[in-house]
Structure 1
Amino acid sequence: MAIRRILFVDDNFICSFENCEILREEGFSVLPAYTAPAAFEHINRHQSLAALVTDIDLGPGDDGFAVARWARKSYPGLPVVFISGTASGRHAAEGVCGSEFVSKPFNPQQVVDALGRVMHAKAA
């Protein structure tokens, strides 16, 4: 069976909780992180990850782009979905290659669909 562990990074606890629950209902195992340093800790544990979903604006310090770049060092080609309510214009310039962007507010199915596309693209 394929690994379906997702690292979900969002500093908004409510948004994170709701989306992690929906991803679990879709059959994913979800590791939540609420800050970039917490995401780095998960990545540094070298657990198998199927994908990363990260908010871009994570408060003070590193942002979601930094999290994605760090994750790709440990997991080359890791499927990435960025989410943000304010940074859509930055995705093309700062997002990692092959990633997708979903604008907040969103229907959780949009994130599930974006994950399907980026994970399918890696498998192809």
Structure 2
Amino acid sequence: MTSSDTPPPATILVVEDEVLIRTAVAGYLRDCGYRVLEAGTAEEAQRIFASDEPVDILFADVDLGPGASGFVLATWTRQKRPAVRILLTSGVDRMAEKAGDLCDGPFLAKPYTHERLAEEIKRLLGRAGDR
């Protein structure tokens, strides 16, 4: 297989208002070989989607501060980009039940390990054997 035959890496849009968390998660996912886009708000994420950037997975915090929540973003994504897989996270336990209908995987409660996040992303992509 030549390098031109290698499929492009999956693209993950990380939406997190806490810049230190977003930077750490995005850096880890890049180290895992993914193409990562970052947004601090739901509105920034919607602009990325509107630019026709290819996105395979939306990984978003539920609480994004002022503006639309991760739930609103996930609902919007389901309507506008139904092929995008969605994984939500929050530090608030009661959010898990509401997230169940919007997520393609289990709700990821904070704090989560980078390894757990990578496992869920691999599962969503159907690449359980890949790094």
TM-score (norm 1): 0.86
RMSD between aligned residues: 1.8
Runs of 4+ off more than 3 Å = none
1:85 partnered with 2:91: yes
Greater mean alpha carbon deviation, residues 89-98 or residues 19-28: 89-98
CA-CA distance at 1:74 after TM superposition:
2.7
Q: State the match for 2:59 in structure 1.
A: 53
Retained in 1: the 8 A contact 2:62–2:71? yes
Count of aligned pairs between the two proteins = 120
Quote the sequence identity (%): 28
Q: List gaps (5 residues or longer) in structure 1.
A: none
Structure with the largest fraction of helix: 1
What corresponds to 2:22 in structure 1? 16
After superposition, what is the alpha-carbon deviation per residue over 1:50-76, rounded to whole angstroms, capped at 9, x for unaligned?
111000000012101111122222321
**C-alpha contact 1:3 1:50 (8 A) present in aligned 2:** no
Instruction: Identify which of structures 1 and 2 has the higher relative contact order when contacts are C-alpha pairs closer than 8 Å and 6+ apart.
Output: 1
The structure with more radius of gyration: 2
- Structure 2: distance between partners of 1:76 and 1:36: 17
TM-score of the two chains, using structure 2 as the length reference? 0.82
